[in-house]
Amino acid sequence: MVVDTGIVIRHLRTATGKTATTLSLILGAAPCFVTYITVYELFFGATDQAKRRDVHDALLPLEIIGGSARVARRAGLLRRHFVQHGWDVGAMDPLVAATCLEAALPILTTNVDHFLRVPGLLVLSPDQIASDVDLAQLIADARRWNADYRRRHGYDAIPRI
């Protein structure tokens, strides 16, 4: 699964060796990735050498997924889709979402509402992660939860891009 920026930030802010974070729990349960966008956002926010070192260390167990022309095209269409619906989610979320869609991977994010607006993207919330993570059950529960959430918010009426 793709781990979004907010998950890594939470990990960096709370990782004390005593507290399990969402990132530390999921690392043992599934192969985890980050997008090049997340790497960019994390290093942009790392304001000193110690923070840059912490970011570097947090990223070590994660595989970085780069961009492509296909991702850029899809992200542009997603951003246009968001703008047409009056949703301001910024420029980065469509790039992250398009990367996930092209790689056919779910996203674990703190920005649940932004990403649930993306047709076809499986979105996982950190609230769904427990210390005894069963990946198959997590995915099944997320599919049901995504469908219900999208239906309640009218996102399922939006055509696929």
pLDDT per residue as tens, the chain (161 positions) = 999 999 999 999 986 555 678 898 888 788 999 999 999 999 999 999 999 999 999 999 999 999 999 999 999 999 998 898 888 888 899 999 999 999 999 999 999 988 999 989 999 999 888 778 788 888 999 999 999 998 898 887 666 66
Residue 161 is assigned to a structural domain of this protein: no
Residue 23 is assigned to a structural domain of this protein: yes
Residue 82 is assigned to a structural domain of this protein: yes
Residue 81 is assigned to a structural domain of this protein: yes
pLDDT for 124-142, tens place per residue? 999 888 778 788 888 999 9
CB-based contact 25:133 (threshold 8 Å):
yes
Task: Quote the pLDDT of residue 85.
Answer: 85
Task: Quote the pLDDT of residue 24.
Answer: 87
CB-based contact 161:119 (threshold 8 Å):
yes
Q: What is the CATH number of the domain that holds 34?
A: 3.40.50.1010
Global pTM value: 0.89
Chain position carrying tokens 């939860």: 145
Other CB atoms within a 10 A radius of the CB of residue 11 amount to 19
Residue 19 is assigned to a structural domain of this protein: yes
Domain that holds residue 67: 2-156
The span from the CA of 149 to the CA of 128, in Å, is: 14
- The torsion defined by the Cα of 23, 30, 127 and 98, in degrees rounded to 10, comes to 90
CB-based contact 35:65 (threshold 8 Å):
yes
Residue 34 is assigned to a structural domain of this protein: yes
* Torsion sign across C-alpha atoms 10, 137, 119, 40: positive
Please count the structural domains in the chain: 1
